[in-house]
Amino acid sequence: MNRILQEVIEHAATWPEEDQKELAEYAREIEARRTGIYTMSDDERTAVRKGLAEADRGEFVSDELIAHADKRHKGRGYATRPVRSPIESEYLNI
């Protein structure tokens, strides 16, 4: 390990936990780039499980929200799904 990296790691030990997590995330991204293997964090794994459970229940983001968020859909006539998540209702003021 080079001197600069060693110093950064020593200083990072005094940082708040949030900053340490951010540094660790950067290191994980570098490792993934170098090895070609990406390992999900616990938060990412939880989010994927939540998304899969929502899909299993038939809960999808509506095309209306996608069109609203992505202006590239201008008037392409996408149909909307009847299921709206609480986030969609809040975001679209429905």
Task: Report pLDDT for 64.
Answer: 82
17 within a domain of the structure (yes/no) = yes
Task: Report pLDDT for 73.
Answer: 54
Question: Which residue range forms the structural domain that includes residue 76?
Answer: 52-92
Question: What are 27-80's pLDDT values in tens digits?
Answer: 989 999 999 988 888 889 999 999 999 999 988 888 888 877 877 656 555 544
43 within a domain of the structure (yes/no) = no
Question: In this structure, are 59 and 28 located in the same domain?
Answer: no
Among the listed ranges 21-25, 32-36, 49-53, 90-94, which one has the minimum average pLDDT value?
90-94
Task: Report pLDDT for 8.
Answer: 94
User: Contact 88/61 with Cβ under 8 angstroms?
Assistant: yes
Question: In this structure, are 87 and 60 located in the same domain?
Answer: yes
27 within a domain of the structure (yes/no) = yes
Going by C-alpha positions, the residue among 52, 67, 55, 60 that lies closest to residue 81 is 60
Q: For Cα atoms 26, 29, 33, give the angle at the middle one, nearest 5 degrees.
A: 140
47 within a domain of the structure (yes/no) = no
Residue 61 burial by Cβ neighbours in a 10 Å radius (0-12, 13-18, 19+): middle
Position 10, amino acid: E
Question: In this structure, are 57 and 88 located in the same domain?
Answer: yes
Which comes out higher in pLDDT, residue 61 or 20? 20
